[in-house]
Amino acid sequence: MMREDIGRVVLVGTGAVGTSFAYAMLNQGITEELVLIDINEKKAEGEAMDLNHGVPFASSSTKIWKGSYADCGYADVVVITAGAPQKPGETRLDLVEKNAKIFKSMIGEIMNSGFNGIFVIASNPVDILTYVTWKYSGLPKEQVIGSGTILDTGRFRYMLGNYFGIDSRNVHAYIMGEHGDTEFPVWSHAFIGTKSLAKYMDGHPSYKKSDLDDIFVNVRDAAYDIIERKGATHFGIGMGLTRLVKAILKDENSIQTVAAYLNGEYGHSDVYIGVPAIINRQGIREIIELELSAEEKEKMNHSVKVLKETMAPVL
């Protein structure tokens, strides 16, 4: 059930990522209603109270409360950040079995409410748990979206902008593939403004290809570096999720690198993986199929292979 007259977003999971998302949503005034759900009901209630006390200082009024799965019936978007967290030294794929079990019961309860909106999944391993959500929900593939490589792409653009001394909002580049160790940079479609990165570097000989390789390694390993220092990553992904939900609710038709279901695109099917896609009120309107280089195609194939092999025992 969806109501055009009012926007309701339900957040499942009030841990560090969930509350960072809720805080960004409140500050940007993106939805009229924000419902918080957590297995720890007191935690959800406390977060709702704390956020509500900031409403007088926000750009617009948002009604926030601790809710239940029944509140998903009228939700436009359900964002899931719940699940076992990634521990130091643990890869995102290590989390598969633990979180797949959690998701099975959670998705069932959400669907029992009559929910027919858009799922946005952020829990790791996000590509696999997005697929799990699609399978368990029975919703069309367009209505189930994973955060995919939206954060990795944000990190990529930030680090490239920092290196070249260019506003990161004018750096156009993508990280594709699994949100994890097999992700890869799409150098063949990286631009500084309207100029390809390769041509831009030709005119600036002080910039080196080896530096770009180091930047990608820093992007790929950023989560491990941050977790080692502060225990979790949550502000960046909270902002990324807010950007994605805004694109949905505002019917933006904007391009975001999300975990989308491939049905022949890039030569693959039956997998959710990070690709550029057009996002609007219906969810994923269209996958943007870039013409990848031979090396990039090989990396995409490898990423799909790893995801499918990891997912197979669970499903």
**Residue 92 pLDDT > 70:** no
Asked whether residue 299 falls in the same domain as residue 185, the answer is yes
- Would 174 be classed as within a structural domain? yes
pLDDT, average across residues 18-23? 98
| Nearest residue to 145 via CA among 129, 132, 130, 125 | 130
Asked whether residue 128 falls in the same domain as residue 173, the answer is no
Which region holds residue 192: left if phi is over 0, alpha if psi is between -120 and 50, else beta? Answer: beta
Q: What is the DSSP letter of 177?
A: B
Asked whether residue 135 falls in the same domain as residue 154, the answer is no
Asked whether residue 136 falls in the same domain as residue 174, the answer is no
Asked whether residue 90 falls in the same domain as residue 162, the answer is no
Q: Which of 90-104, 179-193, 220-234, 294-308 has the lowest mean pLDDT?
A: 90-104
- Would 2 be classed as within a structural domain? no
- Would 3 be classed as within a structural domain? no
Looking at the structure of the chain, the number of domains it has is: 2
Can you tell me whether residue 255 is helix, strand or coil? strand
DSSP secondary structure of 18-77: HHHHHHHHHHHT--SEEEEE-SSHHHHHHHHHHHHTTGGGSSS--EEEE--GGGGGG-SE
Global pTM reads 0.93
Asked whether residue 139 falls in the same domain as residue 93, the answer is yes
- The residue from 146, 175, 194 where one domain ends is 146
- Would 129 be classed as within a structural domain? yes
- The residue from 146, 170, 193 where one domain ends is 146
- Would 55 be classed as within a structural domain? yes
Asked whether residue 268 falls in the same domain as residue 210, the answer is yes
- Would 16 be classed as within a structural domain? yes
Q: Does residue 2 contact residue 76 with C-beta atoms inside 8 Å?
A: yes
Cα dihedral value 305, 306, 308, 312, nearest 10: 130
Whole-angstrom distance, CA of residue 274 vs CA of residue 126: 10
Burial class (CB in 10 A: 0-12, 13-18, 19+), 206: exposed
Asked whether residue 22 falls in the same domain as residue 127, the answer is yes
Amino acid at 115: F
- Would 1 be classed as within a structural domain? no
pLDDT, average across residues 81-95? 75
Tell me if residue 204 is catalytic: no
Q: Which of 179, 189, 234, 268 is catalytic?
A: 179
Q: Mean pLDDT over all residues of the chain? A: 94
Asked whether residue 294 falls in the same domain as residue 161, the answer is yes
- pLDDT value, residue 1: 43
CATH code of the domain containing 106: 3.40.50.720
CATH code of the domain containing 245: 3.90.110.10
Structural domain including 65 reads: 8-146
Q: Which two tokens stand for residue 130?
A: 């997005």
Cα dihedral value 179, 180, 182, 186, nearest 10: 50
Rounded to 5°, the CA angle 98-236-308 comes to: 40
Q: Does residue 260 contact residue 142 with C-beta atoms inside 8 Å?
A: no
- pLDDT value, residue 171: 96
Asked whether residue 201 falls in the same domain as residue 122, the answer is no
- The residue from 146, 165, 185 where one domain ends is 146
Asked whether residue 26 falls in the same domain as residue 108, the answer is yes
Rounded to 5°, the CA angle 284-290-293 comes to: 150
- Would 194 be classed as within a structural domain? yes
**Residue 267 pLDDT > 50:** yes
Asked whether residue 105 falls in the same domain as residue 75, the answer is yes
